[in-house]
Structure 1
Amino acid sequence: MPFNFLAVLAATFVTLIVGFIWYSPKVFGTIWMRETGITEEKAKQSNMFKIFGLTIFYSFMLSFIMPTLVVHQMGALGLIGGDPALAKPSYAAFIADYADAFRTFKHGALHGFMAGLFIALPITAINALYEQKSWRYILINAGYWMVSMMIMGAIICGWK
């Protein structure tokens, strides 16, 4: 069960695609702008190269760690120290029997959603509480991360 770098790379771009839809004026963009206090004029002054470049970088970081959250077999690999060549024969037998167990897009989406719910939501909510933001702001941003992580998890877990 090798690390699927192409799946991680594909999942990296999920945050951009979901963000273009999620934060568009027809979905949550108008409400989000009102909740953040950002105006159209202020948004146009942004350094988009910097924003998109760092978004891709940070999304790659998130995608890189996602296999440990959504692929059960990564846990077995961790138990042997990460190098299958040094493993006992029981590891090879285990992987032969269970290499594809729970390796579906649906299962990855479930784990991605749980990661969004139990990691992204609390982080987003804590920051927003200190920033004195509304619950609408929290739900829009946390919802974005839950959907993004759900799709990322589906890609990473289901792409064998």
Structure 2
Amino acid sequence: MGDIDLLAVFLGAVAFFVIGAIWYGPLFGKAWQREVGLSDAQIKEGNVAVVFGLAFLFELLIAVMLGHNIARTSPAPHVIMMMAVGFGLVIMTPAIGIHYLFQRRSGKLFAIDAGYFVVGMAAMGGVFVAFA
């Protein structure tokens, strides 16, 4: 069992965060905004620093868990990617799917958000591979 690579954890969370900025900005920002029913004015309201800060902390927590699993198993690079994408695809995606079913959210919103988790986790995994 190895130590958690804290630099990889931090940079993995940064990668996830950057994917989110692109995903919910130029790629799917307007579609996501329509699906959740938020106007431009509502998006600008509130404390953006708190929202982004907490989002980053949650992403950091995810990165710590991935880093912990990597440290415990010392896997090959392809296994790191399987872990990272697997988290996104078979843990995070079904969890939000269940949540969205009960909230009666659209399939489009589910695809946008699930896609973010899978791609974001792949980016995070790529960072951990770079440090392996």
TM-score by length of 1: 0.74
**Structure-2 residue corresponding to 1:17:** 18
For 1:63, the aligned partner's letter is A
More relative contact order in 1 or in 2 (CA 8 Å, sep 6+)? 2
The RMSD of aligned alpha carbons is: 1.7
TM-score by length of structure 2 reads: 0.89
Superposed, 1:18-97 pairs within 5 Å as 18-24=19-25, 26-69=26-69, 71=70, 74-75=72-73
Q: Which residue of 2 aligns with 1:153?
A: 125
Give, in whole Å, the separation in 2 of the partners of 1:111 and 1:14: 16
Q: 1:128 aligns with which of 96, 100, 116?
A: 100
1:11 shift after superposition: 0.9
Task: Pick one of 88, 94, 112 that aligns with 1:116.
Answer: 88
Query: Does the CA-based 8 Å contact 2:16-2:123 persist in structure 1?
Result: no
**Equivalent residues in 2 for 1:133-144 (5 A)?**
133-144=105-116
Matching residue's letter, 1:54: L
Report if aligned partners of 2:4, 2:68 keep a CA contact under 8 Å in 1: no
Show structure 1 runs of 5+ residues with no match: 76-98
Question: Is contact 2:88-2:117 (8 Å) kept?
Answer: yes
Identity across matched positions, percent:
25
For structure 2, the residue ranges without an aligned partner over 5 or more in a row are: none
Match of 2:27, SS state, is coil
Cα displacement (A) at 1:138: 0.6
SS in 2 for 1:23: helix
Length, aligned pairs only: 131
Deviations 1:11-40 (A, max 9, x none): 12123201111012x311111111100111
Q: Which residue pairs with 2:6 in the alignment?
A: 5
Considering fraction of residues, name the structure with more helix: 2
SS in 2 for 1:2: coil
